[in-house]
Structure 1
Amino acid sequence: MDEVSTSLDSSMTYHIVNSLKQYVHILNGTSQIVYQGPHEHVLEFFESMGFKC
């Protein structure tokens, strides 16, 4: 999430950041790393978790 606003308009960026803020507030903490690895393997990783693109 280091480039959350790349190629987004200000309205969409606001909604994403607001959602992250609510997530942190509800769970009383920051988010965890979901995936760390080479970008060429990210789709395979999420598909193995049941999230097909």
Structure 2
Amino acid sequence: MIYRPDTELQSHYAEASVAQQFDAVVWFDETHAVTPLGLEHRRIGVPDTYPFGF
């Protein structure tokens, strides 16, 4: 791919209307990292990809 700064806006960005594209928008002012579950919550026999794995 060749980078062309003179056409970047036209080729990489598009106009969007949040109100027309989505039913609702959620905004979080603050977030924090989640804490991983300990080994006591691990299910024996359930694959790591559950429920999507086969």
Superposition TM-score tier, normalisation by shorter sequence: under 0.3
Higher relative contact order (CA 8 A, sep 6+): 1
Calculate the TM-score normalised by the size of structure 1: 0.22
Asked which structure has the greater CA Rg, the reply is 2
Which structure has greater helix proportion? 1
